Amino acid sequence: MKFYTPLCLLCLIFATSCKKEISEEKKMTNTPPIADKIEKHLEIHNDIRIDNYYWLNDRENPEVIDYLERENNYYNNVTAHTKDFQTSLFEEMKARIKEDDSSVPYFYKGYFYITRFETGKNYPIYTRKKGNLDATEEIMFDGNQMAEGHSYFHLGGINVSPDNNLVAFGIDTISRRNYTIQIKNLTTGEIYPTKIELTTGSSTWANDNKTLFYTRKDQQTLRSDKIYRHLLNSNPDQDVMIYHEEDDTYNTFVYKTKSDKYLVIGSGSTLTSEYRILNANTPEKQFQIFSPRQRGVEYNIAHFGTDFYVLTNKDGATNFKLMKTLETKTASENWKEVIAHRENVLVEDFEIFKEYLVVSERDNGLNKIHIQRWDGTASYYLPFENETYTANTMQNMEFDTNILRYSYNSLTTPASVIDFNMKTKEQTIMKEQEVLGGTFDKENYESERIWATAADGTKIPVSIVYKKGIKKDGSNPLLQYGYGSYGYTIDPSFSSSRLSLLDRGFIFAIAHVRGGEYLGRKWYEDGKLLKKKNTFTDFIDVSKYLIAEGYTSKEHLYASGGSAGGLLMGAIMNMAPELYNGVIAAVPFVDVVTTMLDDSIPLTTGEYDEWGNPNEKEYYEYMKSYSPYDNVEAKSYPNTLVTTGLHDSQVQYWEPAKWVAKLRELKTDTHILLLKTNMDAGHGGASGRFEALKEVATDYSFLLDLEGIHQ
């Protein structure tokens, strides 16, 4: 696999135009492009699959770029009548955003850190103030200046040295999540010429202010597999590799504990964790294993005083429990229980303060934040009232404080940043998201949580929001969203851009299908590997329930999902296409079998515990039975918009491209089928807050156009 700079891509596109020039007349046609068919036989387990579009798996081939450009031209032509509406939607959504916005400052090692935006600019500006908020602002990074000349830009991994004088940072200008690390002197403003290539962008300083640890990626698979030690002002070619994760189902990373005492190397797969620790004052010494990996045992660690606290599923604690151990005896046989495992409560995270332990839990799908004093004199939960909210702890950098910072929002309530005094139980709203434009009133919207019944009798939770006054007569357009993989939970949260749908009569529903962790770890395990189809049937059963209850009808129901949620979209389109008038599949993982058989593709080997290893016949046959690409048939499909990015490192562009080509070949309907490829972006889409908002406007205009709504 090869990666291209923007210049190389221009060369490819130029070569394409020379080899297969597209006439102006052809560009303006509303006839969909037809991809060439070149048979490719793929054989394993005495089974042969014929892939006629395998040839699209080649960025170097000018014919591939040509095909993607023709699809883009077709998209532009078919949607030309909505361009003005897209623009007005974008301006409408943009007008709700406070452009000259800034984050709530947080205090860390003598400085207040603030991220702010300026009117009309796409990228954040990272600043700090020494000692107090009235101090002179120091601009650490202006993303707008740094992004100049780049069609894509992302700044990440900002990490200030312990003495506050240096900052390491990572930059990606291709959108393949390959970052170049550099170091800036915050006193002089100089960015040192040293560049460390092919990294995750993240790094951590030892306590000597001159030793930096970082993670490199494998050049082909992009797996994070090696930890290096870099000395300030030295040649990166001389950096010492201090750890190599040789198991290709694992990724590795490095960080420092909140106590600043230990450097930590973590290594993890879907099912298993392992850590190594080193005193941050002695970075030249060797890391020691915290507790050796045991397949199926996951754990996370945090340091406090003379102990480590360990969040783990050890000994069958499916929903995790909290344990602790002396820093001198870290092996798992020494761990002692602090919070026991509970069958119905998932322990998701914890925060350690000098006098308090804060635990983030999930009970019956709802976020809970539990606070207790170490001395046992207080133990309570923060009160939350409805069933469609999200609450999470935020930057709690200080150790010796009574203040817990957390965020709260709901489907109808904009996000707030709240400082809670754990001693007095007083809370201060530090900031509430402003929704500009003068028309938003949260009292005009209503949310609810309902439960659909799956075919196997399982109750599936659904979070719904809509504008008050709707009637359940089946006439409402409804957008149903889902994901359902990796144990990732889609919490109900506020979106100001979503108001553009709600105000035009749409209902928005999140189907909390199996494969996420909304109802605990078992909810995840019941939607993976050989139970993956539960994710798809859950989503379909939610759709049937919403129709049966009059929220919508087949003529007005739409579905949306991205990445693994795009796989969900492909599966439901094959299994129940008659239920949906339209589907949006963003960067969809649809060619499951071929991708999972190719261990040269980024992320593949690390995914075996999620999807299974198709080199084993049982998993191969199960994957093949639901893989969207392998199950396209000659039948009617819904109106469909598929989006992808040429540089996507997580779901390669050729998966959606091949899928659309095969759908074009076999589908028997006259419904719209569109493929839109961002030639400058990757998995996350366009960079910059406004460019990303344009993509939302594109999606919304597709849905609204299908409903005959054009203003």
471 pLDDT above the threshold of 60: yes
Q: What is the pLDDT of residue 3?
A: 28
CA distance 601 to 218: 11
327 has a pLDDT exceeding 50: yes
What is the DSSP code string of 665-681? Answer: HH--S---EEEEEETT-
Q: How confident is the model at residue 11 (pLDDT cuts 50, 70, 90)?
A: very low
Q: What is the mean pLDDT of residues 678-707?
A: 83
**Cβ atoms 203, 214 nearer than 8 A:** yes
Please identify which residue in the block is written with the tokens 């740094």: 146
DSSP character string of 592-618: HHHHHT-TTSTTTGGGHHHH--TTSHH
User: Is 563 noted as a catalytic residue in this protein?
Assistant: yes
Q: What is the pLDDT of residue 577?
A: 98
Interval 168-191 mean pLDDT: 92
Q: Check whether 705 has a pLDDT greater than 80.
A: yes
pLDDT score of 416: 96
Asked if residues 379 and 338 have their Cβ atoms less than 8 Å apart, the reply is: no
Least confident segment among 14-18, 43-47, 290-294, 325-329: 14-18
Kindly state the tokens that stand for 496.
Answer: 């100001």
Q: What's the sign of the alpha-carbon dihedral 690, 659, 588, 272?
A: negative
State phi, psi for 185 to the nearest 5 degrees: -85, 115
Residue 430 is predicted with a pLDDT of 96
Instruction: Please indicate, yes or no, whether the overall pTM of this predicted structure exceeds 0.85.
Output: yes
Cβ contact 273:266 at 8 Å: yes
pLDDT grade for 17, boundaries at 50, 70 and 90 = very low
CA 201/CA 207 separation, integer angstroms: 20
> Which ranges of 340-466 does DSSP label H, i.e. alpha helix?
none
The single-letter code of the amino acid at 444 is N
Lowest mean pLDDT among 269-273, 334-338, 590-594: 269-273
- Could you tell me the two tokens for 270? 């879907």
Sign, CA torsion 363/383/498/465: positive
Q: How is residue 187 written in tokens?
A: 């006193």
Has residue 24 got a pLDDT over 70? no
What's the average model confidence in pLDDT over 22-47?
Answer: 80
To 10 degrees, the CA torsion angle through 264, 265, 267, 273?
-30
The Cα 512–Cα 516 span in angstroms is 7
Residue 644, SS3?
Answer: strand
Q: Is the pLDDT of residue 72 over 80?
A: yes
List % helix, strand, coil for the chain (3-state, nearest 5).
25, 35, 45
Active site residue 683: yes
Report the CATH superfamily, name and number, of domain 462-706: Alpha/Beta hydrolase fold, catalytic domain (3.40.50.1820)
Helix ranges (H only) for 449-532 are 499-502, 521-525
Kindly tell me if the per-residue pLDDT of 12 is higher than 60.
no
Judge contact between 166 and 180, C-beta under 8 A: no
Interval 343-389: pLDDT, tens: 999 999 999 999 999 999 999 999 999 999 999 999 999 999 899 99
Question: Rounded to the nearest 5 degrees, what angle is found at the Cα of 511, between the Cα atoms of 508 and 514?
Answer: 170
* Position 48 confidence tier, pLDDT thresholds 50, 70, 90: very high
Cα 272 from Cα 288, distance rounded (Å): 18
| pLDDT tens, position by position, 620-669 | 999 999 999 999 999 999 999 999 998 876 788 999 999 999 999 999 99
Q: Where are the beta strands (DSSP E) in 438-499?
A: 445-453, 459-467, 478-481
Distance CA 350, CA 370 (A): 9
The ranges assigned to domains in the chain are: 348-433, 462-706
Query: β-strand 582-586 against 416-421: which pairing, if any?
Result: unpaired
Higher pLDDT, 561 or 598: 561
Rg (CA), the chain: 26
CB-based contacts of 632, cutoff 8 Å, min separation 6: 574, 659, 662, 663, 666, 667
Q: Rounded distance, CA 159 to CA 177, Å? A: 18
- 3-state SS, 267-330, equals EECCCCEEEEEEECCCCCCCCEEEECCCCCCCEEEEEECCEEEEEECHHHCCCCEEEEEECCCC
Nearest to 35 by CA among 665, 686, 671, 675: 665
Task: State the Cα–Cα distance between residues 641 and 672, nearest whole angstrom.
Answer: 8
Residue 600's pLDDT is 77
Q: Which residues pair with 449 in a beta bridge?
A: 463
User: What was the pLDDT predicted at 689?
Assistant: 77
Please, where are the H alpha helices in 461-530? 499-502, 521-525
- Angle, helices 533-548 vs 564-575, to 10°: value is 60
Q: Exposure of 595 by Cβ count < 10 A (0-12 exposed, 13-18 middle, 19+ buried)?
A: buried
Token digits for 305? 């005083």
pLDDT at 467: 97
| CA nearest neighbour of 280 among 211, 199, 180 | 211
- Cβ burial of 190 (10 Å; 0-12, 13-18, 19+) is exposed
| The amino acid at 319 | N
**Candidate list 239, 648, 699, 705, residue with the active-site label:** 648
pLDDT at 176: 74
Neighbouring C-alpha atoms within 13 Å toward the C-beta of 82: 22
Q: In whole angstroms, what separates CA 281 from the centre of its chain?
A: 34
Which token pair is 658?
Answer: 């091949």
* Confidence (pLDDT) at 677: 94
User: Within a 10 A sphere around the Cβ of 451, how many other Cβ atoms?
Assistant: 12
The answer to whether 56 and 661 have CB atoms below 8 angstroms apart is yes
Strand arrangement of the beta sheet that strand 273-279 belongs to: 251-256, 262-268, 273-279, 288-291
In the predicted structure, residue 16 carries a pLDDT above the cut 60: no
Task: State the catalytic residue, choosing from 563, 649, 687, 701.
Answer: 563
Query: Among 228-232, 394-398, 533-537, 623-627, which is the least confidently predicted range?
Result: 394-398
Q: Which of 154, 303, 370, 683 is catalytic?
A: 683
Annotation marks residue 512 as catalytic = no
For residues 685-693, give the mean pLDDT. Answer: 73
* Gap between the Cα atoms of 369 and 621, Å rounded: 43
**Is the pLDDT score of 687 beyond 80?**
no
Distance between the two ends of the chain, CA-based, in angstroms? 45
Nearest to 432 by CA among 412, 455, 405, 413: 413
**Averaged confidence pLDDT in the chain:** 92
Res. 22 pLDDT band, cuts 50 70 90: very low
